[in-house]
Structures are given as structure tokens and as C-alpha cells.
Amino acid sequence: MGNSSGSIGLERATDSIIVGNRHRVDLGDIDALATSIKREGLLQPVTVTPNGVLVCGARRLAALRKLGIKKVNVWVRNGISDRLGELMAEQDDNVLHKPLSQTEAAALYRELKEVIAEDAASRQQASRFSSDQQKPRSDGAATVAAPSAGDTRQQAARMVSGRNSYTSLERINELQQMVDDPTQTDAVREQAQAALDTIDEGGSITAAQQRMHAAVSLAELEAFVADATLPRSVRDAAEVAVARVRSIEATARADDLERVATEALIRVKSGAKRKSSQPRTQLPDDQPALHTLRSFVLIWDDLDGWPGRYDPAVIGPGLTDEKWEQFLATVAATNDFAEAAGAARSGAARTAD
């Protein structure tokens, strides 16, 4: 039978309903919903397109399948087979039942934004005059100009969150792009995924984005250090910058870390640009790549007074066995270096006399 909303009620096999690619990842407590359906029956049918693609009711369908129910009454919704209609219906379903996580909402927002722009462009094309200057063609939708990027973001944000603000959703999607970007290092992609997980657990979106900006800058600096075709002075400057960023990575505020890393990368890139006209040489593999006196001085300037910036009672028990052994080895190597450098310094002084 039909209703005023353009839907008809039919019985359909649950296994024949196509779920497809939906933005909800976590369906929540299906056991409780299944118990409710078993006790009270399905109070609200799921909705599908004429082709059997699920529009809304993913949690209800999962509960029905869990109960082993083979057939169910569904609403077959006409006129909602287009992608935008399905996305909007999916969001209606989410609002009425289990809210999306932050990352799920951002994924839905991203696709809504793209589809809104495509839909508007299609309507704009349909509204143009035909070659014989007849009345504008129309596909049945309003003939309006395609929205600007800002308007598109606002429309999609309203559909997902009920608010015009899209900043947080854009920030989350930037982190998702880092996860999906094959040009990023594995470390950056893993850190971006960890940041998304933290956001879903209630962490700060802004801080996560700032720390990821710092991580990307740090990866670029490390690439400068490893590039044997660059002048030694550029690689030394990059190494000093990496050491500086690493030294504050765990303790600095996210905005300060982003600023330090970004400024360091700008300085190194500027130095590399100035040196680009100079001939580049690559050291033989068996020749150690010794750094300059300037690099040494800069590193120890950064380390000046470092014991006062940490609490031994926190650092000692907080380090893993591997990191503790690494620390002790570095201290021992530093002491050996100090003795050798001191001997060289005394020898140079005697020669001068």
C-alpha cells in the first residue's frame, strides 16, 4: 500500500537488501536492539530504494539478521535512488537513532559536499538556453547557480551537524587525507590515524591537526637530512632543526610545536634554495658523514640546561627498557667523546705554546 510520502510497503527477504557503502562504521549495541525487536516487534520498517538498496535502518536490519528473521516489511521509497537523496536519508536515520562518530560525520560531510556541488552544476547546466534560444532546459529541479565553495561547505555541514560551521569537519578530513596519502611516510600516516582515533574518543580536533602539521614538517626535515645530494650545510641545518623539534615534541603545546616545526622547515628550505646553485657532491658510502662545528654548537646551545627541564622521578620510571638503554648508551658515548675532544683540545693548546 502507498502513503503520501511516495513510499509503498512490501515484504522483502532480509538477505536481499543491499547495504552498500555507508558512512556508519560502528552500529552500536545491536544486541539490545535485537532484544527490543524480539519483544515488541519491528516498530519502524527499514526503507529501501526500488532496487533494494538500503536507505535508512542499517541498525534495524543488522538486528533482524542477528535474530535470523528471513523476511521483513519494508518501505520502498520512490524518487530517492539518486546519491544525494540516499545520503540525506542516511543522515536522517543517524539523527533519529545513533549519532555518527566525529570521523563518520566528517566522511558523510565530505561526500555530501561533493554531491551537492555536482548536483548544483547539473542543475545549472540544465537551466541554460538551448541552441535555438528556446526556454531553459530543466531536469525538474530548481534552476540556480552552482554554490560557491563556502556555500557548499555550509550546506553539507548543516545536513550533518545542524550548524553552518564546517571548520572541524574540514580539519578531520585533512587528517583522513594524510592517512590515505601514499606520498606521506608510514610514520606520518600511522600518526594521523592515531589522531583520528583520539578525536573519536573526545580529543581536541584543533590540537590533533596542529600536531599533524608539525609531524609533516618534521618528516620533510628528516628527508633533507637523508638527502645526500644536498650541501652538507643544508643537511646540518636540517639535523639541528629535527633535534630541536624532537626535544619539545612530547612537552610543547600543540600550537607551539606546529609553529616551531613550520618555522624550522621554512628556514631549511630557504637555505637549500640559496645553496641550489652550488655544485652538489655525494660522499662515498664508506666515508663517514661528519657534521660541522657549527652544527655541534647549535645542538649544544639547544641542550643547554636541559636537566632542569625534566623531572628524573618522571623520566626514570617512564622510559621503556629500550629507551633507557639508549639513553645510557648516549651518555656513555658523550663522555667518551668529551674525553677525546678534551685530549685534542689540550694537544692543540700545547702546540700553540
Q: What is the pLDDT of residues 233-266, one digit of tens each?
A: 888 889 999 999 999 988 889 999 999 999 999 9
In this prediction, residue 2 carries a pLDDT of 44
Q: Taking residues 101-111, what's their average pLDDT?
A: 80
Cβ burial of 182 (10 Å; 0-12, 13-18, 19+) is exposed
Confirm if 237 and 284 have CB atoms less than 8 A apart.
Answer: no
Q: Is the dihedral of CA 190, 193, 198, 203 positive or negative?
A: positive
Residues 6+ positions from 60 with CB-CB distance below 8 Å: 33, 37, 42, 44, 46
Minimum mean pLDDT range among 47-56, 76-85, 221-230, 290-299 = 76-85
Buried b / exposed e along 224-256 (16+ C-beta atoms within 10 A): bbeeeebbbbbbbbbbbbbbbbebbeeebebee
In this prediction, residue 53 carries a pLDDT of 75
Q: How confident is the model at residue 311 (pLDDT cuts 50, 70, 90)?
A: confident
Q: Whole-model pTM?
A: 0.52
Using the predicted structure, report yes or no on whether residue 220 has a pLDDT greater than 90.
yes
In this prediction, residue 324 carries a pLDDT of 84
Q: How far apart are the first and last CA of the chain?
A: 109
Angle at 310 between CA 306 and CA 316, to 5 degrees: 120
Cell numbers representing residue 176 in the block: 583522513
Confirm if 279 and 231 have CB atoms less than 8 A apart.
Answer: no
